[in-house]
Structures are given as structure tokens and as C-alpha cells.
Amino acid sequence: MIDQQVQLGQPVPDFTLPSVGGEGDTVTLSQFRGSKVVIYFYPKDMTPACTQQACDFRDSASYFASKGAVIIGVSGDELKSHVKFAGKHELPFPLLADTEHIVSRMFGVWQLKKMYGREFEGIVRSTFLINEEGILVKEWRKVRVRGHVDEVLQEVSGS
């Protein structure tokens, strides 16, 4: 169990989660040491905003790769849902299943949310950039999907 929250300018603690589309059945953060890592947390597979965000990252994946960055998507959905989502939208990057919300809590994105007068816990759409040494260098919290991937790519290109 990871009991600390990530901080800008500090190393991100290593973690391993079940994965769809990675090199195996799991992805460990430290396997990407030496590359920039863009981790984006999203609420739910197959919803309109999450689909748009995933497709925006998909459409820019080659640009991220050309800048030495890998993309990782994380939600609380089960692997079975990720398989369907990644397949339907031809996502070229891993989707991680944080069903116990351990990594989401570590990044401070598992929060109380309100929708239509109802309160519930869930992932607040957020993106994080980790440098080649494993240091958290940028965070985008409470993300609006439109134009977001371009902002992240601009940061990756400049860092």
C-alpha cells in the first residue's frame, strides 16, 4: 500500500497495476525510467469525454513518442472494460486498472464528486508529467478535455 501523496519536484513512488496494451499483464512505473511519462487519470471507459480524451492522446501518440514520452491511461475500471475500450478506439498505449484506487489516491485524484445533486467518490480527470528521472514536473488537475492534449504536448516538447 502506498501511503504518501505525490508532490511536484519529488520522485513519484513506484507502483504496478494490471494493464491492457502494455508489455505484459502489468505495468510498473519504473520500467519507463529514462523516458518522460504522461499519466492521465480519467473517470470511466466508454463515456463521451473520456473517449474524446483517449482518442486525442491516441491521435497525438506519435508526437509524444518523438519527444521521448510514453502515455499511460488510468481509471478504476476493470481490465475487461479496458480491453473493450482500447480495442474499440485502437489505443496504442497501456490502460491501467486501478480498481482499488491506490494509485488514484497517491496522486490525489480519488475524490468526493457531485453530479446532479448526488455525491460519490470517483476520479477527478487529471494529468501528470514525470521526467526521465522519475520526478513529477507538471500536473494538470480538474482537466477540461478540449485542447488539453495540446497543452500536455507543448509541455513535453519544452521540457
> Whole-angstrom Cα distance, residue 148 to residue 105?
22
Show Cβ contacts of residue 77 under 8 Å, excluding neighbours closer than 6 positions.
44, 45, 85, 97, 99
Instruction: Answer for the pair 54, 75: CB distance below 8 angstroms, yes or no.
Output: no
Instruction: Answer for the pair 139, 71: CB distance below 8 angstroms, yes or no.
Output: no
End-to-end CA separation in angstroms for the chain? 31
Query: Which residue out of 27, 29, 50, 124 is catalytically annotated?
Result: 50
- Residue 55 designated active-site: no
> Whole-angstrom Cα distance, residue 151 to residue 159?
12
48-66 helix and 148-158 helix, angle to the nearest 10 degrees: 20
Show Cβ contacts of residue 40 under 8 Å, excluding neighbours closer than 6 positions.
53, 57, 71, 72, 73, 74, 125, 126, 127, 128, 143, 152
Active site (catalytic) residues: 50
